[in-house]
Amino acid sequence: MSRYFSEKYSRLVPYTPGEQPARGEISIKLNTNESPYPPTEKAIRGAAEAAAYLNLYSDPEAKLLRAALAERLGVEPDEVLPTNGSDEILNFAFMAFCDEGSPAIFPDITYGFYPVFADLNGVPYRTIPLKDDFTIDPADYYHAGGTVFIANPNAPTGIALTLAEVESIVAANRDNVVVIDEAYVDFGGESAVSLIHKYDNLLVTQTFSKSRSLAGARLGFGVGCVDLIRDLNTVKYSTNPYNVNSLTMAAGLGMLADDETVMARCQKIAETRDKTAAEMQKMGFTLTESRSNFLFAAHPAVEGDVIYRELRKRGILVRHFTGARIRNYNRITVGTPEQMEALLGALRDILAERT
Ligand SMILES: *Cc1c(COP(=O)(O)O)cnc(C)c1O
């Protein structure tokens, strides 16, 4: 730390992103929940064509993208705000809706960026423990007295709340915003977007990083009533009006134009997930019921970090966690069927050696 670093950030512990190994170092990358499938031709061509106009600023209003998103989601363009990854809309929500009087509230085991955003913005926060089986009890969030953040499906557990459960939380917190982070919803969750016309305290966030093959483009968005989106725009125009670059907007439009392909891929990933989970169960793994594009798994006979390291030796990278309740678990992104076959083969080897 330099002696110039602002006092208000000096104790900040930044978020640790999953490793992005150099190409060639790892043969099967299952650690950051990216799509195993590349962007579609339309997305690639769109970005390439947009490159010819990089001398101009991107559209700060993202008009074309908002129109396409609104149509896809069944909402109005003024109810959508595209951002630089969904991390940015989440940060905007901490900036816009949290303070001393409305602290941030989220589960003890969830997306690791929430406490970082709270600390970055000087916002107090409180965590609510998941139940022993890693599920969320919706009633724990009724009349929470703060701005609620819930990832649905949750990460790294993959477990989803039903739409009725989400609605019960939103309805029981009318004096505070409830943010539902739907980064993984396309793999089998129920989206709460349809509720934004009923509840003016609901903000739903989604991303193109997981289901839409654009993690490297950085594109996410928020959906909520016009007033919430206006507040978030006040924050956006005070931070970075050109927050989404023109290549990314074009690529996003391309992926939306190929929505049928995208949804078929999500379906395929969900099937691969369930087959892989069934095979791992036969090997003795304990798994959560994942509705996302990853598995969350522990083995009673081999420690989580041993499995992580042994997989890595075999060129397979997964994500290992060190938190007290989850240190025995690994989070494994669902890749192609071929990648999952390789994973299962490696796990069989490791168990044969270690048990
Ligand atoms: C991946 C992820 C995000 C953010 O992803 P972006 O790439 O910034 O869109 C947000 N929430 C959860 C729960 C995630 O897993």
What's the 157 CA to ligand 1 centre distance in angstroms? 14
Q: What is the pLDDT of residue 79?
A: 98
What's the 2 CA to ligand 1 centre distance in angstroms? 31
Q: What is the pLDDT of residue 23?
A: 75
Residue nearest to atom 13 of ligand 1 (CA): 111
What's the 207 CA to ligand 1 centre distance in angstroms? 7
CB 144 within 8 A of CB 103: no
Question: Using H for helix, E for strand and C for coil, what is the string for 248-307?
Answer: HHHHHHHHHHCHHHHHHHHHHHHHHHHHHHHHHHHCCCEECCCCCCEEEEECCCCCHHHH
207: Cβ below 6 Å to ligand 1? yes
Q: What is the pLDDT of residue 351?
A: 97
Ligand 1 pocket test, candidate residues 159, 210, 319, most atoms within 8 A of CB: 210
Task: Name which of 223, 222, 254 is nearest 83 in CA terms.
Answer: 222
Residue by residue, pLDDT tens for the chain (355 residues) are: 999 999 999 999 999 888 888 877 778 999 999 999 999 999 999 999 999 999 999 999 999 999 999 999 999 999 999 999 999 999 999 999 999 999 999 999 999 999 999 999 999 999 999 999 999 999 999 999 999 999 999 999 999 999 999 999 999 999 999 999 999 999 999 999 999 999 999 999 999 999 999 999 999 999 999 999 999 999 999 999 999 999 999 999 999 999 999 999 999 999 999 999 999 999 999 999 999 999 999 999 999 999 999 999 999 999 999 888 999 999 999 999 999 999 999 999 999 998 8
183: Cβ below 6 Å to ligand 1? yes
Q: Residues 129-150, buried b or exposed e (16+ Cβ, 10 A)?
A: ebeeebbbebeebeebebbbbb
87: Cβ below 6 Å to ligand 1? yes
Q: What is the pLDDT of residue 159?
A: 98
Q: What is the pLDDT of residue 90?
A: 98
What's the 270 CA to ligand 1 centre distance in angstroms? 18
Q: What is the pLDDT of residue 147?
A: 98
CA distance 42 to 250: 9
Q: State the pTM of this model.
A: 0.97
CA distance 66 to 55: 22
Residue nearest to atom 5 of ligand 1 (CA): 86
What's the 213 CA to ligand 1 centre distance in angstroms? 13
Distance between alpha carbon 128 and the CA centroid of its chain, in Å? Answer: 19
Check the CA dihedral 126-128-129-135 and report its sign.
negative
Q: Which atom of ligand 1 has the smallest separation from the CA of 110?
A: 13
Task: Look up residue 174 and give its DSSP letter.
Answer: T
Q: Which amino acid is at 213?
A: S
CB 315 within 8 A of CB 309: no
